Amino acid sequence: MAMDDQLAITLLRHGLTKENQEKRYIGWSDPPLCEEGRQLLHPLTDTPDVIYSSPSLRAMETAAMLFPNSDVTVCEGFRELHFGEWELKTYADLCNNPHYRQWIDHPTTITPPGGESYATFTARVLHAWFTMLEQMQHDDRQQAVIVTHGGPLRLLLSHFAPQEKDMWHWSVSHGQGFTLQWQQEERRGVGRCTSLQEAPFTAKDALYNNTFK
């Protein structure tokens, strides 16, 4: 990113785990990347001003493999939703559970048993976002990467992407990300961004490598 009046924040979903392949809810559980997930990740040639990561092992491993020579700031707020008693369960395990069926139909008002409510999750992720923005402004930083999970990534897109869609309408695969850019000073990271670019990062010629040139 060449212009000082722009802000670019890239949201990256962590690499693949065995539990992802098995379609389990892993939330706050802490599995590592699987071998396939590791093989798909390559160090990126461009480095942003700051890199943030969820404290989950799968996110930290992804950040370390993509940016092996960079410092990573761990941020608790960018964790995945906590699925409580449903952690490490699959749809097949839960589909006959009435509470689970209610949650599928009404995810913003129904909370997984022992897990995190949608309201708490939203407040946590947005607090982490705005805290990051304040620190970037204080340090005069223009470019950031957040290595996170499907839930926080979709939530942030629902709040800050140019088009208004709720978080469940966004599809973000492992090995995929988006770069949000703001050009208007008064809307930097607060209002909806002025442009959104897909940023896959699991190929050697990942589009992300051109984001900050």
13 appears as a binding residue in the annotation = yes
19 appears as a binding residue in the annotation = yes
58 appears as a binding residue in the annotation = yes
> Is the separation of the CB atoms in 73 and 51 below 8 Å?
yes
17 appears as a binding residue in the annotation = yes
15 appears as a binding residue in the annotation = yes
Tokens standing for 39? 């093989």
> Across the strands, what pairs with 90?
24
Cβ neighbours, 10 Å, residue 119: 11
Q: For residue 142, give Cα distances in angstroms to 51, 54, 183, 213.
A: 12, 20, 11, 13
24 appears as a binding residue in the annotation = no
Distance CA 130, CA 189 (A): 8
What's the pLDDT at 187?
66
Domain ranges (residues) in the chain = 7-210
Distance CA 74, CA 89 (A): 27
CATH number of this structure's domain 7-210:
3.40.50.1240
- From 172, 188, 168, select the one nearest 180 (Cα to Cα): 188
156 appears as a binding residue in the annotation = no
pLDDT string in tens for the chain (213-residue length): 344 578 999 999 999 999 999 999 999 999 999 999 999 998 988 889 999 999 999 999 999 999 999 999 999 999 999 999 999 999 999 999 999 999 999 999 999 999 999 999 999 999 999 999 999 999 999 999 999 999 999 999 999 999 999 998 998 999 889 999 998 665 677 889 999 999 877 654 454 444 443
Q: For residue 153, give Cα distances in angstroms to 3, 86, 93, 146, 157.
A: 25, 21, 26, 9, 6
